[in-house]
Chain A
Amino acid sequence: MATDIPLLSVTDLSVTFRLDRGIIEAVRGISFDLRAGETLGLVGESGSGKSVTARSIMQLLPATARIAPGASIRFNGARLDQMKDRDLQRLRGNRLSMIFQEPMMSLNPIYKIGTQIAETLRLHKGLGKRDALDRARALLEEVRIPDPAERLEQYPHQLSGGQRQRVMIAMAIANNPNLLVADEPTTALDVTVQAEILALLRSLQERHGMAILLITHDLGVVRRICDRVCVMRHGQLVETGNTKTVFAAAEHPYTRMLIASVPQGRPAPVPEAAPPLLSCENVEVGFLLGRHRVLKAVDKVSLTLRRGETLGVVGESGSGKSTLARALLRLGRIDRGTVTFGGVRIEGLGRKAMRPFRPRMQVVFQDPFASLNPRLSVRQLIEEGLIVNRLGSGSRERLGMMERALADVGMPDTALLRFPHEFSGGQRQRIAIARALVLDPEFVLLDEPTSALDLSVQAQIVELLRSLQSRRGLGYIFISHDLKVVRSLCHEIIIMRNGIVVEQGPCEEIMRDPKQDYTRRLMASAFL
């Protein structure tokens, strides 16, 4: 399909942001071409400038951003960066369209799906109302949404996340664009849905011959659908090339590191005689929906975790994995069933009675930006657990304990005086782990601790968690939807769906030979 004249040509693009504390160079002199019908992946970790690049192409930068002189963005030969607003509006959503990460945020909740798709058609093609709706139905069919005629009459909240992203794609391709800019189109979606959306994008591209600029942090996605790939770091392009060539033999060390940073290795085996640490039987948690309907978020789940063992709880959003974990820690409700921790039944204990157990069972949350109180210094954050549990005889002894915990997670003790917002995502997660470790727990609940982090940082955190486990004999329950991380960390796993355990057993065994259809689908989407 590819021709020789580039469809999109970005030359020497630099974008700066003016902030209080000075000027930040988000993109620093990047150039690349995109030919018609081609899929180009723009890969990078957070802060690498990939989204800013996409927004400069769409000319949708915020007011504080400035494109440095000397840059040019050519689309079909026309300079996008010098175009008037009115001409741009005619181009956007027509020859040039974009889909975003969060499909809930990009659809207007108060309009019907049909109205929203029809609007782009009426705007750019001048279609009548009836014709536009007919075309909208055809488009929904094309993005493979079941019962398209009925969907036209529905509102965004009545659709699932994957379906909403399909609607967004339908809107984007409504006018047969030459270029589709997709900014992390599958990041907010579950793995199985992600695979379906990628397949859809691929097939649409073949049918319509459009070019796709795919912005993502996920190398798996790039490998699956991109012809060529540009690797970005700190606003610069470090490597450009054919996807196959780059993955086979990357030239730049950073690219090599990115590719290698998919979590490797396996957990150290658990000693045979390890005593059980935490177990539960037939745990049920229900939520009241309306007056009489009850949603069983967790339905008759039983599990056993031994000392020094990692139990992975895998499932897509809404599978009940977080609810289960919170119930086990007694941070959330528990309706029926038993929970035993260190030989003691804890499911009936109240807030006061749980107190002695608190330092022994700790938790690390998914988002280190949300789990650290922004008003407190790192010292206050870590010290809190020591103070409330009356550990350490005085401020001096507590300081020593905190310094040891920070050293354990690979942070300098100078961090104690700073505030959480001064640290990167990975460093914050280390602080959150230190907060758990300082209490010397036996059990740590890891609630997706790596999914908000960049790939290279993810691998480091997994490594850290493994070494902490072998040094301290910690028992982990690791909640995740990312099977690659699960494989490198877990001994046993349970697969959950809609509150029920679908499959349960040793991790390696299930990964090698999944018995259930759903597990097979999960594996297929994760390891492609």
Chain B
Amino acid sequence: MSDSLPVSSDLAGEAPGDTYVAPAFRSETYSALVRRRFRRSKAGLTGAILVGLVLLSAIFADTLSPYSPGARDTANQNSPPQRLHIDAAGLYALPLAVALDPVTFEPKFAADETRRCSLRPFARGWSYSFFGANLDRHLFVVDEACPAHLFGTDGLGRDMLSRILVGSRLTLAMAGLVVFTSVMIGATIGLVSGFYGGLVDDLLQRVTELVLALPELPLYLALVAVIPRNLPPMTVFIVLAAILSLLRWASLAREVRGKTLALRGADYVRAAEAVGAGVPRIILRHVLPNVLSHVVVVITLMVPAIVLAESFLSFLGIGVQPPLVSWGLLLNAGKDLQNLGSYPWMLLPVGAIFVTVLGFNMLGDGLRDAIDPHGD
């Protein structure tokens, strides 16, 4: 708007006989101030980059995946990650040959140096739909006869890399959905409760306390147990999101209420009341924008919590149901000790979860420091 207007000299000093020139300040909106302060935090920026990468790879998951997440490579079940090589002709991986250990019958994998499976960039592969368009271009495509599973395969021979990439969508969609609904519920209840006070506040706060007092884990288990088994997987997903949202809004409602309560007594809110502004206007224009920065931080810190919750529930087998793919569901394959010992690459989704959680937490911390006006 007015980012570069200098302070005109008639505003610089008020006293007569003034020879001192006040330092010129640039006109800066609150958001510009926050942005500037955020850029100073290294951890926050790293978090922002990580989050950006995770989100991008979720959006372009199909394009980035060399294999269709459901496609089975029956010749390569439980195959370990193949190393990526590079030479003048481009990227390639060496196929793995299986040999059974004569004593233990344990499959041993050895790289077959005679063949090279090249990864062809931007070639046509399995077809997918991207925002309604049917596409079949991928970042890399591998020939079916000569496999390159960079993250290995699972027990059915499905490519782990592709499954992790595509699985990120459902996990992040779950987080997005839950955060959106619980922020909507929490912020509305918090604003109403804090602004009106009195009986309304009392009532809403008791409800909030009730929700906060519920033991989360047993309740998840109980609620999920109630969901009929024969529902379509997508419906289960939605119901799961609804359950998570219903349990997560309460703490946000608390925080928003506290903020609102403080702002309710602020002079500028009283000033708005004095010029005759109605309740909706005061809430939307004076209270909400000042609460919003706080909510943004809560959102960024809530996402990792939901990612973890989803992974946890799906890991237990009560979350997302196949054939849908999510990170938690992928981890479910590694839940027995024998699998884990023989096929440690089943734990690779943990890495994805780790990066996401770390990124969002760092971003949230950076944002929180940036929006705090008393940080200096």
B7 within 8 A of A: yes
User: Do B27 and A432 touch (CB < 8 A)?
Assistant: no
- Choice from A64, A358, A388 contacting B281 with Cβ under 8 Å: A388
Q: Does B219 count as interface, using CB distance less than 8 angstroms?
A: no
When A365-B270, A371-B268, A423-B11 are in contact, do A21 and B277 touch as well, CB less than 8 Å?
Answer: no
A388 surroundings in chain B (CB, below 8 A): 275-278, 281
Complex interface bits, A158-178 against B, C-beta within 8 A gives 1, otherwise 0? 000000000000000000000
- Pairwise interchain contact A384-B277, C-beta atoms closer than 8 A: yes
**Contact digits for B263-277, partner A, Cβ 8 Å, 1 yes 0 no:** 000111011111111
Which of A21, A234, A354, A415 sits near B11, CB closer than 8 Å? A415
CB pair A365 B275 closer than 8 Å: no
A354, A422, A457 — most chain B CB neighbours (10 Å) = A422
Q: Is the CB of B274 within 8 A of A422?
A: no
**A358–B281 alpha-carbon span in the complex (Å):** 15
Nearest opposing residue in chain A for B275, CB measure:
A385
CB neighbours of A20 from chain B (8 A): 36-37, 40
Q: Is the CB of A426 within 8 A of B14?
A: yes
Q: Answer yes or no: B286 CB below 8 A from chain A CBs.
A: yes
A363: Cβ under 8 A from any B Cβ: yes
Residues of A near B290 (CB, < 8 A) are 373, 375
Set of chain B residues within 8 Å of A331, measured between Cβ atoms = 270, 273-274
- B52: chain A residues at CB < 8 Å are none
Q: How far is the CB of B91 from chain A (nearest CB, A)?
A: 45
A486 beta carbon closer than 8 Å to chain B = no
Q: How far is the CA of A367 from the CA of B11 in the complex (A)?
A: 20
User: Do A422 and B17 have beta carbons less than 8 Å apart?
Assistant: no
Q: Which residues of A contact B143 (CB under 8 A)?
A: none
A339-378 residues at the B interface, CB under 8 angstroms: 351, 354-355, 358-359, 361-363, 365-367, 370-377
A415 to B11 CA separation, bound complex (whole angstroms)? 9
Report whether B15 and A254 are in contact in the complex, using a CB–CB cutoff of 8 Å.
yes
Docked pose: A424 CA to B20 CA in angstroms:
15
Chain A: interface size category: 35 or more
Q: How far is the CA of A427 from the CA of B10 in the complex (A)?
A: 11
CB contact list, B12-33 vs A, under 8 A: 14-17, 20, 23, 25-30
Give min CB distance, B279 to chain A, whole Å.
Answer: 8
A64: chain B residues at CB < 8 Å are: 376
B289 in contact (CB, < 8 A): yes
Is B104 interfacial (CB-CB < 8 Å)?
no
Contacting pair A456 B266 (CB below 8 A): no
Q: Which residue of chain A has its CB nearest to the CB of B31?
A: A375
Q: Is the CB of B97 closer than 8 A to any CB of chain A?
A: no
The answer to whether A24 has its CB under 8 Å from any CB of chain B is yes
Please state if A456 and B15 are interface contacts (CB–CB under 8 Å).
yes
Within 8 Å by CB of A389, from B1, B16, B25, B275, lies: B275
Once A367-B267, A373-B268, A419-B28 are accepted as A-B contacts, the answer to whether A389 and B5 lie under 8 Å apart by CB is no
* Set A22, A254, A417, A427: member contacting B5, Cβ < 8 A: A417
* B-to-A contact residues, CB < 8 Å: 1-2, 5, 7-8, 10-11, 14-17, 20, 23, 25-30, 36-37, 40, 266-268, 270-279, 281, 285-286, 289-290, 376
Q: A257-B15, A426-B14 are in contact. List 14 more A-B contacts (CB 8 A).
A: A20-B40, A254-B15, A355-B276, A358-B274, A365-B267, A371-B270, A372-B271, A373-B286, A376-B285, A384-B275, A385-B276, A414-B8, A417-B5, A424-B14
